[in-house]
């Protein structure tokens, strides 16, 4: 028997696996639920000495008589036991409203799961081959980089979008070696090996470092600046002769340079070995490229109102990206200061992690300027950043005097005021919360026109999407202000978690993402002075979506055995950020707000300007908790024992609530999954803790908050029949709750009679869990429909947010069946009462305190207009003609003339194109080409996907995935395919087009797998068993190019679930949607 054959919810099977099948002398009964360990019970009875056997003789007639007497005795005892216990049994039954049915084991995989072949491991180098040897470590970097950006000054065509660089790295030798290995990717090196040099420095005594294992932090920035200034003449793109007295040629010479593209390494072979504890300087010239890909040194373009095309370059340093910019020790545990000089075209500005020391000084070449920067603190290579652009800036300062500058294209600089003010406020609040000041004297924030929904942060410099930073005073709404505050806070949090304290290895990356997401919501209440209900907003906007994603087999743990940049990149997704933020919120609720903050401060103070693993964050929290909290077993609470069950295994539990008797309920746990068709990937299938968690049970009884209790395997709570129990009413716990039948009946009845007796957050939790449990086959849909029957009375944001998501999901599941009309009527019935009070022209009031209300209005209107397009289209088309086409008749830039309210522009433009003809389509297309505002440009491009002409849609897709003269940027492709997949005609076009043109799509995004995955996730939607089979054939035919794209497995899992869901629930849905009975009676 192997682990793959064991059901992790089957205790007997696990015991058999560990201890083998019961042997003589072992007890084979399953241990009680209260057992804490799985220990075999041996027979300890005293063995008696053997006696000599004596022969006993019995006749046949005697044997038959004895047998009959024994049988009669057994029957008599059975009847007696029945009649004696029946009365007592029935009296106990009468005292209970409900006796739980035998608990079903829902953790088994469907037999169909065996049909799906486990994806074979990808061919390639081993982890040990990819990692750097540990024979040297960096002390500092000195980099000079020349960037060839076209369009600013005359540059030879072959040099366009390239770089020339010279890197000097001071290394400490940890063990004798005649090879120096650095990371390098897509770089070229000189054929003349003499241009690569090994140097030593003869620095004055006060600047010398003794040959010890001291870190580079022992040298102050002033000392490093002095040393590196002496080497300025050395760091040009063409290495100068060694003429500085402080630098001498080392005895070891470079005899060969070997670049291994597969391993992303460059190896310098020396003619003499370097000695242990020796310190040397490696000088290496190189050339690189400024790519269109979304990592490394990236270039982007934008248009001005006069039609000029501008180009900028900036860094996006994901795990393993720095090696594509310059040779380095590009692994997170290596930290060292960086001295940077950028040679850039005249007319541009260069900015980097550190403050400028010499800004835009002329060089010997008249078309080029040089900008040098102060030395950074010791950082890992992925925590730096720089840019070259023609941007302008606004400036302010924090309470502590830190300079804050926000940069944008010149035409948008007046729209950055709110983002600048918010950044200053957020920095002050973060420093107060974290209790540790940042190193450095400035923070630069760049509004990049062509960035998608991701932000890029380095020490002292951040790159955010332009639409996340600009606030046009003429279209100022609470929604826009909250969006800017979230984006700025998320980016600035990484200055502490990521830069001030860097991850010691890729295993700890999740903590940076989790804290960025956690603080993104936590600070909203303070930034907006309590006008935004941040807790409810995080629940609806972040926690609820990840509860869906993390319930699938295609999910992943937050961290587990991450050894390579590719594995690190794989886990840096929404599940990691959103779940990580939810787990931190739950951890704070467990230990208390003040204790949690104290632990955070301890962690940052202890490890400031260094590296740390997440386990050291657990230690800091333990010190803050002390003896104030006990674990489930009564011993002192240890954060690691609790938290690692949530981060080292995927998924989360559902808590089953069973009534045992008139005064007691029992809570148990099991893993929640939306389906059991698809097995997890092999490396995640057998979780470290067998998919069991230590669950903090937050609960209320009759509206009164109770002390938290621990659920390890099972826990019992006192509860009278007349009491109302609510588990996890504020959604602080990362789990779902399934009440027994009578519990759900009582909840549905209470919601119908007076839903206000339950808090809005509790109502949201109930609605979300009921619909999810029904979708996963763990609650009858009749019961879930009874729970949501009260919705026409609901008016609060959070219950409606989760309800709208559930109703839309239900409609989408039935939208391609004969039940679609009835599903549409069902959704309209639930939403019509609230929708009638909406004004499409006033969905987003400017008052911050109405933010959640405006979010609800917009979401509700979007769903209702989808269900009842005839009621919305007329109003939207009128807006299109009156407030867009007419005022923009003689304009080329839509954002300069459109009078449509910003919060409904997407709907208005879409309706205008959908209901219009070729003339309207062509006009919107021209506007999209000339548009200078990135948010408006995206709205116009998405409007084109609303066309009902399949030929126009295919032409739009063709322009999106083919390079050349297409005006559509790579950053816009995902939004185009996602929007098209949400349109009636577009949905029939986009999936087939993407699969039919797979080779072209893969060619354009071959080096940008993150963007490719986002596009595929948005484009592929499978609605039938036939679609599933065709897609499976596609994966087989293109195995070599689709292997490793996890998003394709996710789409397949979703499709299989949809097919199975229809088989299981279609008849039930038909009966429920056709029934005229009141849902309360179900």
Alpha-carbon gap, residue 76 to 79, rounded angstroms: 5
Please report, for residues 48, 901, 910, 928, the alpha-carbon distance to residue 960 in angstroms, rounded to integers and kept in the order given.
Answer: 87, 28, 19, 13
Tokens of 78: 């059975």
DSSP-derived 3-state class of residue 139: strand
Alpha-carbon gap, residue 955 to 162, rounded angstroms: 32
Compute the C-alpha angle 429/431/434, nearest 5°.
Answer: 105
DSSP 725: E
Backbone angles phi, psi at 198, to 5 degrees: -110, 120
Tokens of 544: 């609820």
Alpha-carbon gap, residue 133 to 144, rounded angstroms: 26
Alpha-carbon gap, residue 1020 to 1042, rounded angstroms: 14
DSSP-derived 3-state class of residue 458: strand
Please report, for residues 418, 422, 570, 824, 948, the alpha-carbon distance to residue 914 in angstroms, rounded to integers and kept in the order given.
Answer: 35, 39, 38, 21, 6
**1007: exposed, middle or buried (Cβ count in 10 Å: 0-12, 13-18, 19+):** middle
Pairing of β 653-661 and β 736-738:
parallel
Residue 1037 Cα to chain centre, angstroms: 30
Backbone angles phi, psi at 114, to 5 degrees: -65, -20
Residue 1064 Cα to chain centre, angstroms: 31
| Cβ neighbours of residue 919 closer than 8 Å, sequence gap 6 or more | none
3-state helix, strand, coil split of the chain in percent (to 5) is 45, 20, 35
**Residue at token pair 């109930």:** 766
Q: Of 147, 164, 146, 148, which is closest to residue 156 (Cα–Cα)?
A: 148
The residue count of the chain comes to 1082
Asked whether the beta carbons of 970 and 932 are under 8 A apart, the reply is: no
Please report, for residues 7, 143, 387, the alpha-carbon distance to residue 343 in angstroms, rounded to integers and kept in the order given.
Answer: 62, 11, 11
* Ligand-binding site membership of 52 (annotated): no
Cα of first residue to Cα of last residue in the chain, in angstroms, is 45
Number of H-type helices and E-type strands within the chain: 34, 33
| Cβ neighbours of residue 767 closer than 8 Å, sequence gap 6 or more | 787, 788, 791, 799, 802, 803, 806
Neighbours of 199 (CB within 10 A): 19
Alpha-carbon gap, residue 1047 to 624, rounded angstroms: 40
Asked whether the beta carbons of 223 and 207 are under 8 A apart, the reply is: yes
Tokens of 355: 């403050």
Radius of gyration of the chain (CA): 33
Q: Of 518, 522, 546, which is closest to residue 534 (Cα–Cα)?
A: 522
Q: Of 589, 579, 599, which is closest to residue 648 (Cα–Cα)?
A: 579
Summarize the annotated binding site as residue ranges. 513
Summarize the annotated binding site for Zn(2+) as residue ranges. 513
């Amino acid at each position: 028997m192997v682990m793959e054959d064991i059901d992790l919810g089957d205790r007997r099977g696990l015991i058999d696996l560990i201890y083998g099948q019961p042997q003589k002398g072992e007890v084979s009964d399953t241990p009680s639920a209260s057992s804490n360990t799985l220990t075999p019970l041996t027979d300890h009875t005293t063995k008696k000495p053997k006696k000599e056997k004596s022969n006993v003789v019995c006749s046949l007639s005697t044997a038959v008589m004895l047998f009959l007497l024994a049988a009669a005795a057994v029957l008599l005892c059975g009847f007696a036991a029945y009649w004696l216990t029946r009365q007592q049994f029935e009296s106990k039954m009468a005292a209970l409203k409900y006796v739980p049915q035998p608990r079903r084991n829902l953790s088994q995989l469907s037999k169909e799961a065996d049909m799906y072949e486990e994806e074979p491991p990808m061919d390639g180098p081993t982890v040990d081959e990819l990692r750097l040897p540990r024979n040297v470590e960096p002390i500092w970097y000195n980099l000079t980089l020349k960037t060839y950006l076209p369009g600013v000054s005359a540059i030879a065509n072959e040099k366009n979008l390239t770089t020339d660089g010279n890197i000097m790295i001071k290394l400490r030798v940890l063990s004798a070696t005649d090879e120096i290995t650095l990371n390098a990717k897509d770089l070229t090196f000189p054929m003349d090996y003499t241009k690569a040099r090994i140097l030593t420095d003869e620095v004055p005594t006060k600047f010398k470092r003794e040959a010890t294992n001291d870190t580079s932090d022992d040298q102050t920035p002033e000392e490093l600046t002095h040393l590196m200034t002496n080497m300025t003449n050395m760091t040009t793109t063409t290495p100068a002769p060694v003429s500085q007295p402080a630098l001498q040629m080392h005895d070891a010479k470079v005899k060969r340079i070997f670049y291994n593209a597969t391993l992303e390494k460059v190896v310098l072979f020396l003619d003499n070995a370097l000695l242990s504890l020796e310190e040397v300087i490696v000088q290496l010239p190189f050339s690189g490229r400024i790519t269109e890909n979304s990592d490394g040194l990236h270039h982007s373009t934008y248009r001005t109102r006069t039609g000029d095309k501008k180009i900028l370059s900036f860094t996006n340093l994901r795990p393993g990206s720095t090696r594509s910019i310059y040779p380095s020790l590009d692994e997170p545990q290596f930290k060292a200061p960086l001295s940077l000089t950028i040679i850039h075209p005249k007319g541009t500005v260069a900015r980097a992690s550190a403050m400028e020391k010499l800004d835009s000084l002329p060089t010997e070449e008249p078309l080029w300027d040089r900008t040098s920067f102060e030395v950074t603190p010791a950082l890992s290579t992925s925590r730096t950043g720089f840019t070259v652009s023609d941007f302008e800036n606004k400036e302010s300062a924090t309470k502590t005097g830190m300079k804050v500058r926000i940069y944008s294209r010149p035409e948008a600089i007046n729209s950055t005021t709110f983002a600048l003010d918010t950044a200053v406020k957020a920095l002050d609040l973060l420093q107060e919360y974290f209790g540790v000041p940042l190193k450095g004297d400035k923070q630069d924030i760049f509004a990049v026109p062509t960035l998608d929904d991701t932000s890029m942060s380095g020490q002292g410099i951040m790159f955010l999407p332009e639409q996340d930073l600009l606030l046009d005073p003429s279209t100022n709404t609470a929604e826009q202000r909250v969006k800017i505050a979230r984006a700025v806070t998320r980016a600035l949090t990484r200055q502490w978690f990521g830069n001030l304290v860097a991850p010691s290895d890729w295993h700890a990356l999740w903590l940076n993402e989790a804290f960025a997401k956690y603080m993104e919501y936590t600070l909203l209440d303070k930034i907006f002075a309590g006008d935004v209900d941040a807790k409810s907003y995080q629940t609806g906007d972040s926690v609820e979506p990840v509860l869906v994603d993390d319930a699938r087999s295609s999910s992943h743990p937050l961290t587990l055995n991450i050894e390579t940049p590719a594995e690190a990149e794989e886990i840096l997704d929404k599940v990691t950020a959103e779940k990580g933020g939810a787990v931190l919120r739950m951890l704070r609720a467990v230990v208390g707000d003040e204790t949690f903050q104290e632990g955070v401060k301890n962690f940052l103070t202890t490890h400031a300007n260094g590296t740390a693993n997440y386990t050291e964050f657990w230690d800091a929290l333990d010190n803050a908790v002390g003896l104030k909290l006990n674990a489930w077993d009564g011993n002192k609470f240890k954060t690691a024992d609790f938290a690692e069950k949530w981060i080292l295994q995927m998924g989360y539990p559902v808590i089953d609530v069973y009534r045992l008797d008139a005064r007691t309920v029992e809570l148990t746990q099991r893993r929640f999954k939306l389906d059991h068709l698809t097995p997890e990937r092999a490396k995640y299938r057998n979780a470290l803790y067998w998919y069991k968690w230590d669950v903090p049970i937050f609960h209320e009884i009759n509206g009164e908050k109770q002390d938290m209790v621990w659920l390890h395997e099972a826990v019992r709570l006192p509860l009278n029949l007349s009491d109302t129990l609510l588990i996890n009413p504020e959604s602080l716990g990362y789990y779902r709750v399934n009440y027994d039948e009578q519990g759900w009946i009582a909840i549905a009845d209470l919601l119908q009679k007076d839903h206000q007796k339950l808090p809005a957050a509790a109502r949201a939790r109930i609605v979300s869990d009921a619909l999810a449990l029904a979708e996963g086959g763990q609650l009858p849909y009749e019961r879930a429909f009874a729970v949501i029957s009260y919705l026409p009375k609901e008016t609060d944001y959070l219950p409606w947010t989760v309800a709208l998501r559930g109703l839309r999901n239900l409609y989408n599941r039935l939208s391609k069946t004969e039940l679609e009309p009835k599903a549409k009527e069902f959704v309209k019935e639930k939403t019509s009462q609230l929708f009638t009070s909406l004004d499409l022209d006033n969905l987003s009031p400017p008052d911050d305190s109405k933010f959640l209300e405006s979010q609800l209005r917009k979401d509700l209107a979007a769903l209702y207009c989808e269900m009842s397009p005839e009621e919305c289209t007329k109003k939207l088309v009128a807006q299109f003609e009156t407030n867009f086409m007419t005022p923009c008749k003689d304009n080329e830039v839509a954002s300069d003339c459109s009078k449509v309210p910003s919060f409904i522009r997407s709907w208005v433009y879409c309706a205008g194109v959908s209901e219009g003809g070729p003339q309207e389509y062509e006009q919107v297309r021209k506007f999209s080409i000339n548009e200078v505002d990135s948010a408006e440009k995206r709205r116009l491009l998405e409007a084109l996907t609303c066309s009902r002409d399949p030929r126009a849609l295919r032409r739009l897709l063709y322009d999106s995935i083919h390079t050349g003269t297409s005006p559509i940027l790579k950053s816009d492709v995902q939004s185009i395919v996602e929007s098209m997949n949400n349109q009636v005609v577009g949905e029939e076009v986009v999936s087939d087009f993407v699969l039919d043109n797979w080779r072209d799509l893969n060619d354009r995004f071959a080096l940008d797998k993150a963007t490719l995955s986002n596009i595929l996730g948005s484009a592929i939607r499978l609605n039938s068993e036939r679609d599933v089979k065709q897609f499976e054939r596609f994966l087989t035919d293109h195995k070599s190019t689709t292997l490793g794209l996890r998003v394709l497995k996710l789409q397949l899992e979703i499709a299989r679930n949809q097919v199975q869901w229809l088989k299981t629930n279609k008849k039930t849905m038909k009966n429920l949607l056709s029934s005229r009975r009141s849902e309360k009676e179900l």
